[in-house]
Each structure stands twice: as C-alpha cells, then as structure tokens.
Structure 1
Amino acid sequence: METVDPTMDRVTVLVVDDTKENLTVIGQLLRPYYHVRVANSGARALQAVEVAPRPDLILLDVMMPDMDGYEVLKALRQQPVSHDIPVIFVTALAADTDEELGLSLGAVDYVTKPIKPALLLARVKAQLELKKARDWLADQNAYLDAEVHRRMAENELIKDVSLHALAALAEKRDNETGNHLHRTQGYVALLIELLREHPRFQAEFADEAYCRRVIKAAPLHDIGKVGIPDAILLKPGKLTPEEFEVMKTHAMIGAQAVGESIMQVRAARAQRGLSAEDDVGDSSLDFLDVVCQIAGGHHEKWDGSGYPQGLQGDAIPLPARLMAVADVFDALISRRPYKEPFAADRVLQIMQEGRGRHFDPDVADAFLEHLDRFHEIAECFKDEHPEDVGEISGAKG
C-alpha cells in the first residue's frame, strides 16, 4: 500500500454518505493517516463544516436522499467558511456525463464505487498536497501583501518627513517659524473637511487621495522663497516697492522649480518606455502637480488682482484658493519682526472684506462660519511668544 506522508496526520477529512457501511469502510481506510469525521446526510455535512476541526477535504457521495451531492457542493461553494474546501465525489455514478457534471460544479476529483483503497488514498493525498501548496501560497501572498503595505507606509513616512524638511528649509530663510507650516497645513485640512459636502467642491473632495495630496502639499507653498536674496527675505523692516516686486517672484520661482521636476519625472518615465497615458493616476506626478498649483497660485486673488498671473475666480486652482485663506489668516495673527499680530476684531474685519475680492466666497464663508476652530489650530501650534496668546484666543467666530 502506498505510504502516506506522516505529516498529514493532523489533517481532517469529512466523509459524507447516507450508507453506514460506506462510512465505515472509508473511515477505516483513512483513519491510520488522517483525522476522520463523518456525516450521513447533506444537511449534516453543511453543519459539520461550521464546527471545529473544520475539514481540509470532503469526500462526498452523490446519490443521497433529500439533498444530493450536487446540491451539497453548490451550498458549500456559497458559504465563505467552506468555499475553498476541496471536494472529491465518491459515487456509483460512472458515466462520463456524471463526472463532467461533478467537475463542472467545482469538485476537484471524481472516484467511482466500488472504491479501490490504493486509488482513493492516492487521490486524497494528491488533493491534500495541492491544498497545502495553495494554502502556503496564500500565506506567502498575504505576507508579501503585508510587507508591501508596510514598506509603502514607511516610504510615505520618509517622504512626509523629507517634504516637511524641504518646506522648513524655505521657512528658515524667512522671518517665519516652522509652526507656520503646521498651522497653515491644519487650516487647509479643516477647510477641506468643512467643504466636503459643498456642491461646488463635492467632486474634488470625494477623492480621499486628492485631499491627502492637498494637505501634504500645503507646507510647500513658499518653497520659492529659496530663490529670494537674503537682503530682501531677511529684511527686518518693511520692503520698498522695488523689493516687494522681487519678493513676489517667489510664487513663480516655486511653480517653475516644481514644474521642472514634473518634466524630469516625465522624461525619466519616457526613457523607460512609458507614454503620457501612463502618467494618469501616477501619485508622484499628481502630488507634484498640486504642489505646483499651491506654490504658484496662493497669492492669486479671486478678483484677478493677485500675482503672479493675475488669475481670476475658478481659474485659480482650488488648492491655491484654500491656501490663500490659510496663509493670509496666519499672517494676520502672527508676530513678525516688522509687525505685531493684529487684534482679533481687525483680523475678522480683514478676512470678511476679503470675501469675493481676495478669497473664493464659498471658501471664505466656511472659514468665517467656523473661525473659532481655526483659532484653536493656531493656539495648538502657537509660536513661543506668550504675549500673542491673548490676541489669538480672544477672537470670536
């Protein structure tokens, strides 16, 4: 008799047959090698798969009263707990059409009665080895999938830290603090939350990946300041009109720098044989595009009087419109070497006056209706100027 792998002794086989003698014969044949469970009807077989130890393989008779083997197999395949359990039909039906039907319904093998012990043991062993291999592959795939997700999360963390370091580098050359990055990013995230259900913005903000890109890109709004001379960028007093014109170029410098990065990525992809159509859905390019919109557009104004391009209304990219509100608000409430923070009532007045002029009216409305929440973010990431606390926390929504 064929030797069966002794490592199979923990495997459970369920034998389903309405004839007691058949259950006894097959059970005695299998028990030296496997843990055997039996069921004398289709209904009991369906109950058995729900109870531990669940079977690794089912030997199923076809001709049974009430519920034949074909019906049992269909029911097994419909239940998540038994969907993947391999089933071998063991039956007296020997016609080719019977075998074809059984296999078409999902049986893995078809053994005719009277059974030949060596043949049945060989078929059982073969199917259990196949199941063991499938289970191993499933475990490997699950492990690889988990590993991919872990490494992707790790890469995202590294990217986030690198992006924040890059943004902080630009701020270090300015008279602003790193907390400005945290505050403005928090304001943008809150604006997205408040505008998710607004009819004008539902389509964009329904895309979670897009929302994450906008929030992550927010700290890079002033990346173009790395191109501004120190004499202007670090000047402690008010800029002259000529100096201010130079300062204004930081928006275009940032947009152009990111735009060049996008072109380099596309050129590298082209060298790998990827077409422009392959760029669709590329998260790196999508992110850089949002950074470009924010860096280049956060000083544009709703009425077209902003810079660098004088864009008007919806021609201004949505991320830039969010950033405009966030950046102006933070500038008003923050101390700078050349100014004190504005009083709460003056901040409110300026933001209200900016509605429809500087700011998208709907974005401004969301901001003004929840002003206290924006002050909470400012308080959470306040700079180390204790005298500012009264100015920030004293504002009314």
Structure 2
Amino acid sequence: MECRRKILVVDDEPHNIMLLEGILTKLGHEVVGAENAVVALEKLDRTYDLVLSDVMMPVMNGFEFVEKIRENTETQDIPVIMVTTLSQKGDRLKAVEIGANDFITKPIDIVELRVRTESMLRQKAQQDEIKSFESDLNELVESRTLELREALSKLDEAHVETIHHLCAAAEYKDEETADHLVRMAEYSRILAEKSGLDVDTVQLIHTSSPMHDIGKIGIPDSILLKPGKLTAEEWEVMKSHAVIGGNILSMGSSEYINMGSVIALSHHEKWDGSGYPSGLSGEDIPLPGRICAVADVFDALTSKRPYKEPFSVEKSLEIMKEGRGIHFDPKLIDLFFENIEQILYIKESCAD
C-alpha cells in the first residue's frame, strides 16, 4: 500500500484478532483490536480507515454494531467488512441493508483479505480526498463570498456617498439644510418600519429619501429663494421640480437612485388626488412617496423657509391632523401620531 492505514478489528475470539492483526500488519497497516462491539464503539473515531467485524458476538452482534457506526455522523463513512461464517443470502442482504460494504468468509484466505481490504481502503482514500476537496472548496467559496460582500459594501458606500453629494448640490441652491435631510430621512425610516416593510426596503427608503427635492437644482433662484408668495406662473415652475428630480434620477441604475426617482416624483402627490405632478390619489401613489410626504411636510412646517418662519410643534401637529385622508394616507398619519415621541426626539436631536 502507498501509506499506512488504521484498521479496527472486532472479534470475540482473541486468536482471530491475532490472526488478522498479523496479516494486516505485514501489509503495512496499523491494527487495533476490540474483543466486542461495545469496546469497539468506544475506540472508533474518524481516524480509522476501515473496520473488520465478526457477526456472531456476545453483548452486541455485528449487525447492531454496523447500525451504530452508521448512526454516528463522525463514523458513518468508515467502510466495514464483515468477517463471517454466514453463507445464507438473507443474512448477507441484511448486512448490506444496514450498511456493511463487503464480506470475507471464514476461514480467512490471505489473498482475499488483501484484495478486499485494499479495495475498501482505496474507496476510503477517495472519499477522504473528495471531502478534503469539498472542504477546500467551501473555504474558497466562503473567502470569495466575504470578498464579494466587502466589495458590494464598498460599492454601496460609494452609492450612498454619491447620493449625499447629489443632495448637497441641491442644498447649495436652497436654504434647506443638511439637518433637514437627516430629519426627513429618519422620519421616513420610522414610518417605513412601522408600516411593516422588510429591513432592506426600510433601508432603501431611508437612504433614498434625501433625494426627494433634488429637482430643485433646476429651479431658478428668483423663484426658489423668493421670500414672498409665488405667483401662479412661478408656482407652476416650482412644481416642476418633482418631474425634474424624477427625470434626473431615472437615468441611474442603482436601486437607491431608482427609489429616489420614485420618491422625487410622488412625494407631492396627495391622498385625495389634488397633488402634483400627476394628480395620483390613494394607493395609486407609491408607498415610499406617501411615507416621504408625511415626513417632508412635518419638517417643512417646523422649519424656517425663505417664505415663512417655523410653526410651533403644536400648530404643526394640528395641520398634520387636518391633512388626514386629504393630503396624507390615513394609515400613515395614524402611525405618525402613534410614534410622535420618536419623531419629536429626532426633531430635537437633529435641530438646525
């Protein structure tokens, strides 16, 4: 044999153990004897390459012994040769059914013993090689998966960073602050979570919601920063920021950019259909847009704008309640008030 193998010999007759041990040792193997199946089970572990077992033994017979070997995940792949005087076909079939791999008939023929043991040991070596290959492959897959996750994480971070820069470009023209974007994103996250959305969608809305007004980058400063009330013509120009934002973001392939496009286009729609740019109503308005509408309006009410001073929290909440079923999705505005403590905590902790 090419290498030394470890073999367990189980027999209640000591001279049979000595006989097999002498032959197998000369063939270059390490042999361990056991006087019965119970002792053998105590000794047997994954370091063994082959088991030779008698069938007719006290305490536990060979059939029961093989069943125990196959039940143990650590030893179930070790090949077993039954060394037996049994010649009945039914006995041999039973041995095969419970997991025996081969047979050697007593009295033992040395040539047969060598051929059958070498055959089983070759099979065991091939099994070990396959297992080793599978283990190495699993390690490689885990390593590559980790590398891929790290790469995707960096790509994800790059997308988020791009979004932040994109939003900063819009802020540059508007008097809305970075804190407004943080608050609005956090309000949106709370409403998305409480709506029962899955973790990934909540994160997507949270990350993409700051792009809601990205289209304001295309609105003239004379309108965007006007301190007084807009004329009807100016208001139509101002409303176009939703379409501008949707169009800008529709050119991206990132899931964040795509979600940002949905939000930009739909966060000014109203539940009763009186919003813009498409006059959508009810559940025809995408849920992310409905969520961001609640978040954006509350922050707008409680924040300073070129055309207004901030309203008090009490006044703002009163206006929000009046918008239930008119401006806002009734279920979402109810969730907003059910979680008002979290909302107000974010407002105070992220103040301009």
| TM-score w.r.t. length of structure 2 | 0.76
Change (3 A) 1:292 1:78: farther
**Displacement after TM superposition at 1:120 (Å):** 1.6
2:156 and 2:62 map into 1 onto residues whose CA distance is 56
Change (3 A) 1:160 1:133: same
Partner residue in 1 for 2:205: 214
Structure 1 unaligned regions, length at least 5: 197-204, 263-283, 386-397
1:33 and 1:213 map into 2 onto residues whose CA distance is 65
2:142 and 2:52 map into 1 onto residues whose CA distance is 35
- Are 2:342 and 1:373 aligned? yes
The answer on whether the counterparts of 1:16 and 1:58 sit within 8 Å (CA) in structure 2 is no
Partner residue in 2 for 1:189: 189
Counting only pairs closer than 5 Å after superposition, residues 42-121 of structure 1 correspond to structure 2 as: 54-55=46-47, 57=49, 59=51, 61=53, 63=55, 80-81=73-74, 85-92=77-84, 109-110=101-102, 112-113=104-105, 114=108, 116-117=113-114, 119-121=116-118
2:260 and 2:70 map into 1 onto residues whose CA distance is 50
**Displacement after TM superposition at 1:190 (Å):** 1.4
**Displacement after TM superposition at 1:312 (Å):** 0.5
> Structure 1 residue aligned with 2:221, among 218, 225, 231?
231
2:55 and 2:35 map into 1 onto residues whose CA distance is 12
Let me know the Cα RMSD of the aligned residues. 3.9
**Displacement after TM superposition at 1:345 (Å):** 0.7
Change (3 A) 1:292 1:373: same
1:132 and 1:349 map into 2 onto residues whose CA distance is 73
> Structure 2 residue aligned with 1:127, among 124, 145, 150?
124
SS in 2 for 1:116: helix
The answer on whether the counterparts of 1:237 and 1:338 sit within 8 Å (CA) in structure 2 is yes
2:179 and 2:95 map into 1 onto residues whose CA distance is 69
**Displacement after TM superposition at 1:308 (Å):** 0.8
**Displacement after TM superposition at 1:14 (Å):** 5.5
Amino acid at match of 1:250: H
> Structure 2 residue aligned with 1:170, among 162, 167, 171?
167
1:43 and 1:324 map into 2 onto residues whose CA distance is 73
Amino acid at match of 1:138: S
Partner residue in 2 for 1:280: none
**Displacement after TM superposition at 1:252 (Å):** 1.7
Change (3 A) 1:121 1:191: same
Partner residue in 1 for 2:233: 242
**Displacement after TM superposition at 1:234 (Å):** 5.3
Partner residue in 1 for 2:2: 3
1:256 and 1:62 map into 2 onto residues whose CA distance is 81
Counting only pairs closer than 5 Å after superposition, residues 196-345 of structure 1 correspond to structure 2 as: 196=196, 205=197, 207-226=198-217, 228-232=218-222, 235=225, 237-238=227-228, 240=230, 241-261=232-252, 289-345=258-314
> Structure 2 residue aligned with 1:140, among 137, 144, 148?
137
The answer on whether the counterparts of 1:14 and 1:37 sit within 8 Å (CA) in structure 2 is yes
**Displacement after TM superposition at 1:218 (Å):** 2.4
1:222 and 1:258 map into 2 onto residues whose CA distance is 11
**C-alpha distance after superposition, 1:248-295 (max 9, x if no partner):** 222222323444446xxxxxxxxxxxxxxxxxxxxx66x665333222
Structure 2 unaligned regions, length at least 5: none
Q: Percent identical across equivalent pairs?
A: 31
Amino acid at match of 1:195: S
Change (3 A) 1:119 1:72: closer
The answer on whether the counterparts of 1:160 and 1:216 sit within 8 Å (CA) in structure 2 is no
**Displacement after TM superposition at 1:101 (Å):** 7.4
Change (3 A) 1:122 1:253: same
1:38 and 1:242 map into 2 onto residues whose CA distance is 99
The count of residues paired between Structure 1 and Structure 2 equals 340
The answer on whether the counterparts of 2:263 and 2:288 sit within 8 Å (CA) in structure 1 is yes
1:35 and 1:222 map into 2 onto residues whose CA distance is 78
